[in-house]
Chains A and B, each alone.
Chain A
Amino acid sequence: MAETYDAIVVGGGHNGLTCAAYLAKAGQKVLVLERRHVLGGAAVTEEIYPGFKYSVCSYVVSLLRPEVARELDLGRHGLQIHPQEFVYLPMENGDHLLTHGDPHKTRQEFRRFSKKDADRAGQFEDLMYRMAFAVKPILGYKPPNMAAPSLRDLSTLKEFGGHLSGLGKETFHQLTKIMTMSADDFVGQFFETPIIRAMHSLSGVIGTMLGPKSPGTAYVLLHHYMGDLDGAFSAWGAQKGGTGMVSEAIASAARENGVEIRVNAPVSQIIIENGTAVGVALENGDEFYAKTIATGCDPHVSFRKLVDEKELPGDFVRAIDNFKFRGSSGKVNIALDGLPAFTGMESPRFLSGAIDICPSTDYVEQAYDDAKYGGFSKRPAMEICIPSINDPSMAPPGKHMMSIFVQYCSYDMDQYGDRDQQREAFGNAVIDTVQEFCPNIKDLILHKQVLTPWDMEQMIGLTEGNIFQGELTLDQLFFSRPTAGYADYKTPIRNYWQCGSGTHPGGGIMAMPGRLAAKEILGGKLVI
Chain B
Amino acid sequence: MTRPTPFHSRTSALNEGQRWEDWEGFLAATMYSLDPLVEYNAVRLGCGIFDVSPLHKYEVRGPDAQALLQRMVVRNLAPSRPGRGFYTVWCDDNGKVVDDGGVFHIAENHLRLTSTLPSLEWLIDNSSGFDVTIEDVSEELVGIAIQGPTSRDLLRKLTNVDLSALKFWHCTDADVCDRPTLISRSGYTGDLGFEIFVRPEDAEKIWDSAMALAPDYQMRPCGLVALDMTRIEAGLLQIDTEFISAKQTLFEVQTISPLELGVGWMCKLDGDYFVGRDALREEKANGTSRWKTVGVELDVTYIEKYFSEFAMPLHLPERSWNEAVPIYADEAQEHLIGRGTSGMWSPLLKKYIVIARIPPQYEKLGSRFFIEEVIEAKTFSIPATVVKMPFFDPPRKKA
Apart from A80-B44, A85-B33, A232-B315, what are 11 other A-B pairs with CB-CB below 8 Å? A75-B349, A76-B349, A82-B41, A85-B38, A133-B313, A232-B318, A232-B347, A233-B314, A390-B46, A391-B45, A397-B216
Query: What residues on B are CB-neighbors of A69 within 8 Å?
Result: 350
Q: Chain A: which residue is nearest B38 at the CB level?
A: A85
Query: What residues on A are CB-neighbors of B316 within 8 Å?
Result: 231-233
Given contacts A69-B350, A232-B318, contact A392 B35 (CB under 8 A): no
Contact A392 B45 (CB under 8 A): yes
Contact A391 B318 (CB under 8 A): no
Q: Chain B: which residue is nearest A136 at the CB level?
A: B313
Does B34 reach chain A (CB closer than 8 Å)? yes
| A102–B44 alpha-carbon span in the complex (Å) | 22
- 1/0 per residue A67-107: CB within 8 Å of B? 00110011110011111010000000000000011100100
Query: What residues on B are CB-neighbors of A70 within 8 Å?
Result: 300-301, 350-351
Query: What residues on A are CB-neighbors of B35 within 8 Å?
Result: 83, 85, 101-102
Query: What residues on A are CB-neighbors of B230 within 8 Å?
Result: none
Does A261 reach chain B (CB closer than 8 Å)? no
| A166–B308 alpha-carbon span in the complex (Å) | 13
Q: Which residues in window 144-181 of A have CB below 8 A to B?
A: 166
Contact B38 A66 (CB under 8 A): no
Given contacts A166-B311, A231-B313, A392-B46, contact A83 B350 (CB under 8 A): no
Does A213 reach chain B (CB closer than 8 Å)? no
- 1/0 per residue A226-246: CB within 8 Å of B? 000111110100001000000
Query: What residues on A are CB-neighbors of B187 within 8 Å?
Result: none
- 1/0 per residue B36-65: CB within 8 Å of A? 011001101110000000000000000000
| A82–B149 alpha-carbon span in the complex (Å) | 14
| A426–B153 alpha-carbon span in the complex (Å) | 39
Does A51 reach chain B (CB closer than 8 Å)? no
Contact A348 B46 (CB under 8 A): no
Query: What residues on A are CB-neighbors of B33 within 8 Å?
Result: 85
| A133–B308 alpha-carbon span in the complex (Å) | 12
User: Separation in Å of the B21 CB from the closest CB of chain A?
Assistant: 19
Does A398 reach chain B (CB closer than 8 Å)? yes
Does B215 reach chain A (CB closer than 8 Å)? yes
Does B362 reach chain A (CB closer than 8 Å)? no
Query: What residues on B are CB-neighbors of A348 within 8 Å?
Result: 215
Does A10 reach chain B (CB closer than 8 Å)? no
Which secondary structure dominates chain A's binding surface?
Answer: loop
Does B239 reach chain A (CB closer than 8 Å)? no
Q: Chain A: which residue is nearest B33 at the CB level?
A: A85
| A397–B46 alpha-carbon span in the complex (Å) | 11
| A76–B297 alpha-carbon span in the complex (Å) | 14
| A76–B353 alpha-carbon span in the complex (Å) | 14
Per a CB cutoff under 8 Å, which of B314, B318, B351 touches A75? B351
Q: Which residues in window 118-163 of A have CB below 8 A to B?
A: 133, 136
Contact A392 B38 (CB under 8 A): no
Q: Chain A: which residue is nearest B34 at the CB level?
A: A102
Does B345 reach chain A (CB closer than 8 Å)? yes
Contact B350 A397 (CB under 8 A): no
| A195–B37 alpha-carbon span in the complex (Å) | 28
| A198–B215 alpha-carbon span in the complex (Å) | 31
| A10–B141 alpha-carbon span in the complex (Å) | 62
| A348–B44 alpha-carbon span in the complex (Å) | 20
Query: What residues on B are CB-neighbors of A391 within 8 Å?
Result: 45-46, 218
Q: Could you tell me how many residues of chain B have their Cβ less than 8 Å away from some Cβ of chain A?
A: 33
> Could you jot down 11 A-B contacts, CB within 8 Å?
A66-B314, A70-B351, A74-B350, A80-B348, A83-B41, A100-B34, A102-B35, A229-B313, A235-B37, A397-B216, A397-B217
Query: What residues on B are CB-neighbors of A389 within 8 Å?
Result: 215, 218
| A74–B351 alpha-carbon span in the complex (Å) | 10
Chain A interface size, as a band, is 35 or more
Query: What residues on B are CB-neighbors of A136 within 8 Å?
Result: 313
Does A339 reach chain B (CB closer than 8 Å)? yes
Query: What residues on A are CB-neighbors of B46 within 8 Å?
Result: 390-392
Closest 6 CB pairs of A and B: A75-B350, A75-B349, A102-B34, A232-B316, A397-B216, A398-B216
Contact A101 B34 (CB under 8 A): yes
Given contacts A100-B34, A101-B34, contact A75 B348 (CB under 8 A): yes
Contact B315 A79 (CB under 8 A): no
| A69–B316 alpha-carbon span in the complex (Å) | 15
User: Separation in Å of the A514 CB from the closest CB of chain B?
Assistant: 17
- 1/0 per residue B149-192: CB within 8 Å of A? 11001000000000000000000000000000000000000000
Contact A230 B42 (CB under 8 A): no
Query: What residues on B are CB-neighbors of A74 within 8 Å?
Result: 350
User: Separation in Å of the B36 CB from the closest CB of chain A?
Assistant: 11
| A339–B311 alpha-carbon span in the complex (Å) | 46
| A392–B301 alpha-carbon span in the complex (Å) | 34
| A397–B214 alpha-carbon span in the complex (Å) | 10
Q: Chain B: which residue is nearest A104 at the CB level?
A: B34
Does B317 reach chain A (CB closer than 8 Å)? yes
| A390–B37 alpha-carbon span in the complex (Å) | 13
Query: What residues on A are CB-neighbors of B149 within 8 Å?
Result: 392
Contact A83 B38 (CB under 8 A): yes
Does B114 reach chain A (CB closer than 8 Å)? no
Contact B34 A105 (CB under 8 A): yes
| A80–B394 alpha-carbon span in the complex (Å) | 13
Given contacts A101-B35, A101-B38, contact A392 B349 (CB under 8 A): no
| A354–B373 alpha-carbon span in the complex (Å) | 36
| A249–B116 alpha-carbon span in the complex (Å) | 39
User: Separation in Å of the A432 CB from the closest CB of chain B?
Assistant: 27
User: Separation in Å of the B170 CB from the closest CB of chain A?
Assistant: 24
User: Separation in Å of the A14 CB from the closest CB of chain B?
Assistant: 16
Given contacts A231-B315, A240-B45, contact A79 B215 (CB under 8 A): no
Q: Which residues in window 68-115 of B have CB below 8 A to A?
A: none
Contact B311 A231 (CB under 8 A): no
| A52–B35 alpha-carbon span in the complex (Å) | 29
Q: Chain A: which residue is nearest B311 at the CB level?
A: A166
Contact A392 B150 (CB under 8 A): yes
Query: What residues on A are CB-neighbors of B11 within 8 Å?
Result: none
Contact A231 B217 (CB under 8 A): no
Q: Chain B: which residue is nearest A391 at the CB level?
A: B45
User: Separation in Å of the A141 CB from the closest CB of chain B?
Assistant: 15
User: Separation in Å of the A351 CB from the closest CB of chain B?
Assistant: 11
User: Separation in Å of the B346 CB from the closest CB of chain A?
Assistant: 7
Query: What residues on B are CB-neighbors of A233 within 8 Å?
Result: 300, 314, 316, 345, 350
Q: Which residues in window 387-422 of A have CB below 8 A to B?
A: 389-392, 397-398
- 1/0 per residue A335-379: CB within 8 Å of B? 000010000000010000000000000000000000000000000
Given contacts A75-B349, A85-B35, contact A231 B314 (CB under 8 A): yes
Q: Which residues in window 300-320 of B have CB below 8 A to A?
A: 300-301, 311, 313-318
| A229–B314 alpha-carbon span in the complex (Å) | 8
- Identify the interface centre among B44, B149, B215, B311: most chain A CB within 10 Å of its CB: B215
- 1/0 per residue B329-354: CB within 8 Å of A? 00000000000000001111111000
